[in-house]
Structure 1
Amino acid sequence: MKGRSVFLDHVAGRAAAALVIDGKLEDFLITPPEDGPDPVGTTFRAVVDRPIKGQGGVFVRLPGGETGFLRHAKGLSSGQPVLVQTTGFADPGKATPMTLKLLFKSKFAIVTPDAPGLNVSRQIREEERRAELKFLAEDLMSGSDYGLILRSEAEGADEGDIAEDIAEMRSLAETILSGPDGEPERLVDGADAHALAWREWGRPDEIATDPGCFETRGILDALLEATSGSIALPGGGSLLVEPTRAMIAVDVNSGTDFSPAASLKANIEAARALPRALRLRGLGGQITVDFAPLPKKDRRQIEQILRTAFKTDPVETALAGWTPLGNFEAQRKRERLPLDAKILDALQ
């Protein structure tokens, strides 16, 4: 099955989306449970609670007695109402990470109230099209101090659809920012898995929305295989991804062949497979990779392959480098909810 296919269905009663490219499951999104954390992008009116000395951040009170944490928040006083937006998922028992820099994002446009200026995605390279889009943006954002980013999807889109997107996001931003005072309140829900798939996965060649399509089209089987304890690599080695409370431990094995060439081949294959393995599991946080035995002279090659592999990954990942013990460390943003026991049980 060639091309890009998007499947929208439900798993354990929760909206989920799968992206398949050339017959291979490449991405999977699932909405948090009703009693779980709020999706990324959920916007609240919050009230500043107390600062955290030495960390440059403050806790904020959210509706329902929940707590959020604003990092690098200065000049705020206790009791002050603020508009905040979730940026990721916290570990159990910790406050939800939040930001004061609100983004109103849709398929073609992002309105940025705290960053004025009109910008067109660098991925749109044709100068004539860039000029057309900038002219459209200037017209629709006239009289506003808000900023606007036209996303890469706008390149081949109908101008009427783009204009509708911009107008909707501008109106939403103006409505939210017009009333910052008051008690804690949820103002805008973050996008669920279906909305995220529509917004982030471009123009697929196929979209399947019939109930049960995950099972009939093999998505559940592919997800179960991809999230199993050990992932087989093409050359006979394996990649083991094991999340713990402190970090994500990754182990690379070269199989029964212990020659230097086999180790290098397994490490190269593992470096290319790692972003997908983390993406499908929804994993983020600190990552430590124990590669198969690797001479120091080959480290640069593996690091370059990692950088290339993560460059196209949608989740921001900072590659820190090698430790004195020869492991590789990275830090990945927690903007997805890890697959929980209910979801994994549903795959069986």
Structure 2
Amino acid sequence: MKGHQICLDHLNGREAAALVVDGHLDDLVIDSDAPRPGTVYRAITDRPVKGQGGLFLKTPDGAAYLRGVKGIGQGETLLVQVTGYAEPGKAIPVSHKLLFKSRYAIVTPDAPGLNLSRSIRDDDIRDELMALAHDGMDGSQMGLILRSAAAGADAEAVSDDIGAMRDLAETIMGDQGAGPEVLTEGDGPHVLAWRDWTDPAAVVTEPGCFEEYGILDALDSAKAARVGLGADASMFVEATRALVAVDVNTGADGSFAAGLKANLACARMLPSALRVRGLGGQITIDLAPMPKKERKTFEAALRAALRKDDVDTVMAGWTPLGHFELQRKRARLPLAEVLS
């Protein structure tokens, strides 16, 4: 099946969205009982974590943890936003730098200025979008980023999106309440699909479309560690308590270039494999044997694949043992957890 399909359905009574690219399950978002990323709290400061520059907060959904703060005392009121999912037994990760994000526009209360996505290169389009940005944010001290999807969108739709995000941001930032409270919830899977999967796609909303498009079978495959890389090569993606281990194998291919081919296939497939499995944190890749001079080639392939990924990932580099390490945001819940 060629092309892109976005399937909106439910799994075990939970809202879910799947992106299928050329018959391959490329991304998956399933709702859960955990606070959604993007949720904004009015929180109360609790106690600092000495030596770590962090602070615990009280929220309606339990303890939250805020990094990189100074000069904030106990009992103060802060507006914070959920940035990802917490590890089991840990506090909800939050940030005090709020973002109000939609399909075309991101309003940034703490970062003034009007900006366009760097992927928009056409000067005429940039001029048109900048004019919409000036009109939409006139009189506001907040910042705005117009996303790449705005380049091909109707001007009225972009203006409406800017206005909606500005109104939401002004309402939240003007909050004068007291006590822990949820001020706005993060987007659910169906809205996230509209917001972030912006490539042209057929959208399927009929109940049962997950079964019709083979997504249930793909989920059964994703429960296993093995990911085929073409020919006889494969990689095994396995989560431990400390990290995610990725082991790349060439299979029966004993040619000189087999290791490099398998490693490049891993670079292309890894972001999708991690998204679908909902894995993040520290990731260690045990690559197939290849000459050291080919490391730059592997890094370039992985960097290109991550550039298309919407989950923040840092390429930490090589270890003395020749493993490659990543640090990845926990933007999804583990598939094993949401399907249990």
What TM-score range do you get, normalising by the shorter chain? over 0.9
The answer (yes or no) to whether the contact 2:223–2:336 under 8 Å persists in 1 is no
Deviation at 1:259, TM superposition (A): 4.3
For the residues of structure 1 that align with 2:93 and 2:3, how far apart are their CA atoms?
36
Q: For residue 78 of structure 1, what is the aligned residue in structure 2?
A: 74
Quick check: 1:250 aligned with 2:246?
yes
For the residues of structure 2 that align with 1:56 and 1:47, how far apart are their CA atoms?
17
Equivalent position SS for 2:152? coil
Quick check: 1:278 aligned with 2:278?
no
The amino acid that maps onto 1:4 is H
Counterpart of 1:153 (choices 129, 149, 152) is 149
Q: For residue 127 of structure 1, what is the aligned residue in structure 2?
A: 123
Equivalent position SS for 1:91? coil
Equivalent position SS for 1:79? coil
**CA shift digits 1:182-227 (9 cap, x unpaired):** 0000110101111100001115331100000000121111232244
The amino acid that maps onto 2:100 is F
The answer (yes or no) to whether the contact 1:282–1:337 under 8 Å persists in 2 is yes
For the residues of structure 2 that align with 1:180 and 1:287, how far apart are their CA atoms?
42
What fraction of aligned residue pairs are identical, expressed as a percent?
55
Instruction: Give unpaired runs (5+ residues) of structure 1.
Output: none
For the residues of structure 1 that align with 2:248 and 2:119, how far apart are their CA atoms?
35
Counterpart of 1:335 (choices 317, 320, 331) is 331
The answer (yes or no) to whether the contact 1:263–1:293 under 8 Å persists in 2 is yes
For the residues of structure 1 that align with 2:276 and 2:239, how far apart are their CA atoms?
13
Q: Name whichever of 217-226 and 164-173 sits farther off.
A: 217-226
Deviation at 1:258, TM superposition (A): 4.0
Deviation at 1:279, TM superposition (A): 1.3
Q: RMSD value over aligned CA atoms?
A: 1.5
**CA shift digits 1:314-333 (9 cap, x unpaired):** 11111111111111111111
Q: Name whichever of 222-231 and 201-210 sits farther off.
A: 222-231
The amino acid that maps onto 1:124 is I
Deviation at 1:108, TM superposition (A): 1.1
Q: For residue 45 of structure 2, what is the aligned residue in structure 1?
A: 48
**Which residues in structure 2 correspond to 1:68-217 (within 5 Å)?**
68-217=64-213
For the residues of structure 1 that align with 2:131 and 2:338, how far apart are their CA atoms?
49
Equivalent position SS for 1:340? helix
Deviation at 1:85, TM superposition (A): 0.1
Equivalent position SS for 1:16? strand
**CA shift digits 1:285-314 (9 cap, x unpaired):** 000111122332332222222222222111
The amino acid that maps onto 2:74 is S
For the residues of structure 2 that align with 1:273 and 1:298, how far apart are their CA atoms?
18
**Which residues in structure 2 correspond to 1:14-53 (within 5 Å)?**
14-32=14-32, 34=33, 37-53=34-50
For the residues of structure 1 that align with 2:330 and 2:50, how far apart are their CA atoms?
24
Cα distance, 1:244–1:302 mapped onto 2, change above 3 Å:
same
For the residues of structure 1 that align with 2:85 and 2:150, how far apart are their CA atoms?
29
Quick check: 1:4 aligned with 2:1?
no
Cα distance, 1:197–1:148 mapped onto 2, change above 3 Å:
same
The answer (yes or no) to whether the contact 1:235–1:265 under 8 Å persists in 2 is no
Instruction: Give unpaired runs (5+ residues) of structure 2.
Output: none
Deviation at 1:5, TM superposition (A): 1.2
For the residues of structure 1 that align with 2:318 and 2:76, how far apart are their CA atoms?
44
Deviation at 1:341, TM superposition (A): 4.5
TM-score by length of structure 1 reads 0.93
**CA shift digits 1:222-243 (9 cap, x unpaired):** 2322442211221202110000
Q: Runs of 4 or more off by more than 3 Å in structure 1?
A: 257-260
Deviation at 1:276, TM superposition (A): 1.4
Q: For residue 58 of structure 1, what is the aligned residue in structure 2?
A: 55
